[in-house]
Amino acid sequence: MPLVQYCKKCRREVPLSEHCAHCGGRLGRNSETLAFDVIHVPVKDWFCWNSWLRIALPAAVLVAAGVFAAEYAFGGAAAALALLGSSFLPIILALLVAALVVGWVALGLQGGERIHYAMDKLGLHAWTYLENYSPVQLKARLLTPDMLTQLEGDERALLDMTLIRHQFIAWKDVRRTHFWKENGVLLIYRPSWWQVMAVRCPVEELSNVQAMVNAHVKQPAKHGKKPTPKRKKKT
């Protein structure tokens, strides 16, 4: 979808113009928005798995380190080394495998969803919708019907689909971005070492998305490059 404008009266995106094509209302000069939709299946998305692993792996490391430290504190080095030679490490490995299985089941039960992205002068919005959802899909996302009720007043709530999530990040809060052009994914970081959003972009919109991001986000300077020494002028 090309650049559009949002009419607050009609609660819909309309082509660029001074007036809304539906209600005739005047549109704001600074309401230009780059908008597009994608159909997203979490279980097939590496970045959803990445989010799950960022929780499971540190948790496993903390448990292992805590048990090892306790053995060392109460039994000394001999007890700690004996622990490494026991079935402790295989148990931790089994727990990691179980966590992967749980993640696969949870992501698989979520099913498909529709995500509507909108980029404007303030930042990036992502509205996630479900169509004809089941209670299982909500539970797999750790959502309840009461939580969905709180989103009914959102200006982008659609009548034919159910809004389940609205994310927004202001450009001023973005610390770093990275494009995976081969996968059509824009990664948003805040702070510079923590990924907070993965934007799935249609191939035809990649150049527009990159231009929008470059216009609003200042990328951090790259370190590690030595400055080129200046040549002395011959006298």
Range of 78's domain? 46-109
142 & 167 share domain: yes
155 & 205 share domain: yes
Domain assignment present for 182 = yes
What is the structure's pLDDT at 170?
95
What is the structure's pLDDT at 31?
63
- 228: which residues sit within 8 A by CB, 6+ positions away? none
Rounded to whole angstroms, the Cα distance separating 161 from 130 reads 6
- For 21-67, how does the pLDDT look when each residue is reduced to its tens digit (9 = 90+)? 667 666 666 567 888 999 999 999 999 998 888 888 888 888 888 98
- CB half-sphere exposure, 44, CA atoms < 13 A: 8
30 & 127 share domain: yes
The CATH number for 209's domain is 2.30.29
Picking from 78, 93, 109, the residue at the C-terminal end of a domain is 109
What is the structure's pLDDT at 171?
95
Average pLDDT, stretch 190-219? 89
- For 114-160, how does the pLDDT look when each residue is reduced to its tens digit (9 = 90+)? 999 999 889 999 999 999 889 999 999 999 999 988 887 777 766 67
**What stretches of 28-175 show up as alpha helix (H) in DSSP?**
46-85, 88-110, 135-140, 145-149
23 & 135 share domain: yes
Average pLDDT, stretch 93-111? 91
Residue with tokens 């035809």: 204
Rounded to whole angstroms, the Cα distance separating 6 from 231 reads 55
Q: Is the pLDDT of residue 233 over 60?
A: no
